[in-house]
Every structure is written in structure tokens, then in C-alpha cells.
């Protein structure tokens, strides 16, 4: 864990909770440097005196506010602290509100708050209270030289402080061309149901570990490729023949939704596709019996035709042959039965 960037206390009514603040996020962006394209040397910047042009070291740099053109008032770190000692050392809780009442657009930067020396019990009291009431604390806090509005909420057993944007920092969206409910932008019930089905098919549990910066990985792979190919000094230029794709207006929204439903990502989509693949093919039409088969007795003929239909649907020639044999036996048995019936009267006459 990084070193604490701020030490102070949470003011909760008459209760003071000593805490230390730590950064909750880290930047994983690409660390690109500026180079001189003539010899690929890195570009550097110098802190210099604008009057003399000479470089200035960190020990000689102080802060100041320009109160008029060319006139400055010097402000040291102690001056900034004395302006409001309590504000610079306290996270002052002003109110408690439902988290759903604060739109996501107001959230800015998260910080972890850990209990300071001797503050474990009161820290746990505030944490458990926030969990029990299901609310977040709205507070004021000064970080460096700016006062922030902040929201205190719990993530597991840790109290997290998110700095919030002030209302006057949120830009008005009324100047944008946002479509309203008009005849031109009206959505049919069919389109809405298909869009809802697409959302349902793409819905899954929140698993943040499965998401990562794939673009950064692609750039790093390209860097490794250029290093292996010994093209580290090659400047790739755009292809003059390559034209940007033209934007097209959406004409048939239903067809696009249908296509999206057919190839929607996610776990449910793969299950649906597997189910579709398991559907059996439609059975083919049975072969028409020949004239010789029609001369046979009706009952064996129906059995033979039924067996033939099942064999054709299974698409297996050996099974079709096997299906004919029982029919032939049945026909032979029927013929034998007829012969035995015809001989019976002759035996009776002889007996008489």
C-alpha cells in the first residue's frame, strides 16, 4: 500500500474519528514519452525564470497568486493551512442521503480511509452504521488547495470517500441535440421488445475481473512486434488510399436487432446457440410403395410402409433393408396362414 496522502479526522456530530487517506485507484495507461523525430532523443522540460531565462531548482520554487497584472501575493503551505485549520484537517459530514439520490455523474475520485491511531472502534461504529441505515455521508474535505464535496460509503469493511463534483461543475445538456418523444423517433412495441430481449440476453453478474484494457494489450503487442522486426525507428504513416468508413443512417432497426439477437455475446447467448444446433432435421417424405407391395395384404402393407418411413427419416440404408425383412416375413406368414385355412375344409371332408 502507498503512503498516506492525508491525515486528519472524520467529524461525525461530536465524534471525531482519526483517519488516514490513501489513493484507491492507480493509472494503468501507456507511458509514452515525447521524442525528437530527427534523432529520436527524449524531450525534456526545464523550470526557468521568465525574467532571466535561468533554470530554477525545486528548493527555490514557492507558490503565489496573481492579484493584479504582474503583481503576486506569496502563499506558503502554512498560509494555506492557517486560512482554515479545521477544514484542512477534517472530513466534516454535513448530512446523510440515499445513495440512489446522487447521480453517477457527480462522482469523481475515490480514496480509501483507514483508521488512525486509536480510532479502530469509532471507525467501526461509523462503518456499521452506514451499512445498517443504507445511506451515504455527504461531507466537505480540503485536499491540497481545493475544497471538495465528498460521499462516504462502505466497500466491504472499508470506508471509501468519493470526491463529488459541485452542481455548477456539471454542464447543462439542454444545448445538445437530444431526441425527444416525437413521431420521427417513436419506437414501436416490436422494436422495444426485441431491444429488451437483447438486453436480457446480454445480462450477467458483475465480474470486474473479466474486463481489462484490451487496447493497451494490442499496443504492447505491436511494440513487441516492431522490436522483433527491428523496426524501432520506423515511423508508420497513414495509408493515403485508405478512406474512413462513411456513416450510414439506420433504416431497418428491426433487422439490426434480429441480427444482434442472432450473435449476441455473453453466457446466455452461447446456451441459446447450442440449443438451436441440437434441433433435429425435418424428416424426409416416405417412399411410395411399389405395385408388388400393394398386391400383398393390407395390414402387412401398412406395417411395411411405416417401417420404410422410419428408415428413410433415419437416413440409413442398412436400416431400410432391415425394415423390409420383417415385412417380408409378415407377408410370408400371412400367405402360409391363408394356405392352411384353405386346406382345412378338405381335411374335414376326408374325415367325414
- Give the Å distances, CA to CA, from 15 to 9, 12, 112, 153, 207: 9, 5, 20, 17, 37
119 contacts: CB under 8 Å, gap ≥ 6? 9, 17, 18, 19
User: pLDDT at position 347, please?
Assistant: 43
* Nearest-5° Cα angle at 80, 75 to 85: 155
pLDDT tens digits, one per residue of 7-32: 999 998 888 999 999 999 988 888 88
3-class SS at 286? coil
Provide the residue-wise pLDDT of the chain in tens; the chain has 352 residues: 578 889 999 998 888 999 999 999 988 888 889 999 999 999 999 999 999 999 999 999 999 999 999 899 999 988 988 888 777 889 999 999 999 999 999 999 999 999 999 999 999 999 999 999 999 999 999 988 889 999 999 999 999 999 999 999 999 988 888 888 777 778 888 888 888 888 888 899 989 899 888 888 889 899 899 899 998 888 888 888 877 766 556 556 667 777 777 765 554 444 444 444 444 455 545 454 544 444 444 444 444 444 445 544 444 444 444 444 444 444 444 444 444 444 444 444 444 3
- Give the Å distances, CA to CA, from 181 to 88, 185, 188, 254: 48, 6, 12, 19
C-alpha to C-alpha distance for 305 and 286, rounded to whole angstroms: 8
β-pairing verdict for 71-75 and 90-98: unpaired
185 contacts: CB under 8 Å, gap ≥ 6? 179
Q: For the whole model, what pTM was predicted?
A: 0.63
Closest CA to 18 of 159, 115, 158: 115
pLDDT tens digits, one per residue of 256-312: 777 777 765 554 444 444 444 444 455 545 454 544 444 444 444 444 444 445 544
Q: What burial letters (b/e) apply to 64-96, b meaning 16+ CB within 10 Å?
A: eeeeeeeeeeeeeeeeeeeeeeeebebbbbeee
Q: And the C-alpha cell for 168? A: 455548477
Closest CA to 151 of 140, 143, 142: 140
C-alpha to C-alpha distance for 65 and 77, rounded to whole angstroms: 13
Strand partners, 302: none
201 contacts: CB under 8 Å, gap ≥ 6? 261, 264, 266, 268, 269, 272
Amino acid at each position: 500500500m502507498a503512503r498516506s496522502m492525508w491525515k486528519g479526522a472524520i467529524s461525525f456530530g461530536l465524534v471525531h474519528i482519526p483517519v488516514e487517506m490513501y489513493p484507491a485507484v492507480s493509472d494503468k495507461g501507456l507511458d509514452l514519452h515525447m521524442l525528437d523525430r530527427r534523432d529520436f532523443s527524449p524531450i525534456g522540460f526545464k523550470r526557468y525564470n521568465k525574467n532571466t531565462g535561468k533554470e530554477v531548482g525545486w528548493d527555490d520554487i514557492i507558490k503565489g497568486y496573481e492579484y493584479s497584472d504582474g503583481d503576486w501575493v506569496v502563499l506558503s503551505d502554512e498560509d494555506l493551512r492557517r486560512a482554515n485549520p479545521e477544514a484542512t484537517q477534517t472530513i466534516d459530514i454535513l448530512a446523510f442521503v440515499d445513495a440512489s439520490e446522487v447521480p453517477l455523474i457527480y462522482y469523481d475520485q475515490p480514496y480509501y480511509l483507514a483508521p488512525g491511531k486509536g480510532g479502530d472502534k469509532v471507525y467501526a461504529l461509523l462503518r456499521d452504521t452506514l451499512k445498517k441505515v443504507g445511506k451515504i455521508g455527504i461531507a466537505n474535505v480540503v485536499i491540497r488547495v481545493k475544497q471538495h464535496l465528498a460521499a462516504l460509503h462502505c466497500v466491504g469493511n472499508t470506508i471509501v470517500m468519493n470526491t463529488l463534483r459541485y452542481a455548477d461543475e456539471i454542464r447543462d445538456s439542454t444545448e445538445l441535440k437530444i431526441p425527444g418523444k416525437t413521431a420521427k423517433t417513436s419506437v414501436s412495441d416490436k422494436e422495444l421488445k426485441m431491444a429488451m430481449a437483447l438486453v436480457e440476453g446480454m445480462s450477467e453478474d458483475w465480474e470486474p475481473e473479466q474486463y481489462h484494457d484490451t487496447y493497451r494489450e494490442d499496443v504492447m503487442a505491436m511494440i513487441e512486434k516492431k522490436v522483433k522486426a527491428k523496426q524501432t525507428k520506423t515511423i508508420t504513416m497513414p495509408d493515403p488510399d485508405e478512406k474512413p468508413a462513411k456513416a450510414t443512417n439506420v433504416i431497418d432497426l428491426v433487422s439490426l436487432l434480429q441480427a444482434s439477437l442472432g450473435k449476441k455475446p455473453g453466457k446466455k447467448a452461447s446456451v441459446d446457440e447450442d440449443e438451436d444446433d441440437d434441433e433435429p432435421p425435418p424428416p424426409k417424405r416416405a417412399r411410395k410403395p411399389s405395385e408388388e407391395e400393394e398386391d400383398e395384404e393390407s395390414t402387412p402393407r401398412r406395417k411395411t410402409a411405416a417401417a420404410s418411413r422410419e428408415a428413410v427419416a433415419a437416413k440409413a440404408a442398412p436400416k431400410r433393408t432391415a425394415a423390409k425383412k420383417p415385412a417380408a416375413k409378415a407377408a410370408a406368414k400371412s400367405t402360409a396362414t391363408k394356405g392352411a385355412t384353405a386346406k382345412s375344409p378338405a381335411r374335414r371332408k376326408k374325415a367325414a
